[in-house]
């Protein structure tokens, strides 16, 4: 026997949560960051192995040593997670999306610059490309993943609300 519960007064029933995305379960931020760190580290080591196999990257290359690779893959994920929390939870603003993506991109480029300064002068093209790929991968992975956690709402621009109020007014005749 199937029964459905209804609210006693449909006019005061709570509105459907429009922030939830249809068909996509929302996961907590900590879970997204934890899985992002694991995937980022695994991707960093996989890119390093791929670079060694295909581009003859030397095994002793400083930016690709585990002591340099771990911070280069973990810190961008944690930094973007902090930026996401500050932008969308602690201090949400109308321009939070642009701020989060812009600062995340800037930090990703800073990570590439830091890794590139550790390259020796004799580094070949394969070493440079692998180092850049390892430095950029965590940022390119976590920013879109975190953006899926942004609550969605109906757009309320001043233009659309002005049209909505103008069209809801009753028409008046002037004779």
Q: What mean pLDDT comes out for the span 9-35? A: 66
Residues in Cβ contact with 84 at an 8 Å cutoff, skipping those fewer than 6 apart: 29, 100, 146, 149
Rounded distance, CA 133 to CA 55, Å? Answer: 13
Q: What is the pLDDT of residue 150?
A: 87
Q: What mean pLDDT comes out for the span 112-129? A: 93
Q: What is the pLDDT of residue 151?
A: 74
Classify residue 28 by burial, with Cβ atoms within 10 Å: 0-12, 13-18, 19+: exposed
**Is pLDDT above 90 for 38?**
yes
* Closest alpha carbon to 118 in 49, 76, 71: 71
**Is pLDDT above 70 for 10?**
no
Structure letter (DSSP) for residue 119: S
Q: What is the pLDDT of residue 42?
A: 97
Q: What mean pLDDT comes out for the span 86-106? A: 92
């Amino acid at each position: 026997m199937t029964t459905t519960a209804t609210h006693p007064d449909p006019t005061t029933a709570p509105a459907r949560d429009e922030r939830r995305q249809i068909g996509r379960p929302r996961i907590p931020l900590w879970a997204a960051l934890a899985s992002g760190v694991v995937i980022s580290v695994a991707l960093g080591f996989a890119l390093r192995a791929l670079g060694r196999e295909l581009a003859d990257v030397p095994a002793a290359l400083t930016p690709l040593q585990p002591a340099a690779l771990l911070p280069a893959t973990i810190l961008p994920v944690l930094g973007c997670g902090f930026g996401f929390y500050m932008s969308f939870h602690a201090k949400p603003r109308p321009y939070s999306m642009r701020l989060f993506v812009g600062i995340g991109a800037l930090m990703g480029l800073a990570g590439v610059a830091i890794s590139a300064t550790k390259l020796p002068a004799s580094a070949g093209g394969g070493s440079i490309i692998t180092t850049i790929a390892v430095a950029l991968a965590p940022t390119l992975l976590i920013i879109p993943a975190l953006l899926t956690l942004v609550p969605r709402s109906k757009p309320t621009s001043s233009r659309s609300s002005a049209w909505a109020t103008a069209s809801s007014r009753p028409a008046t005749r002037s004779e």
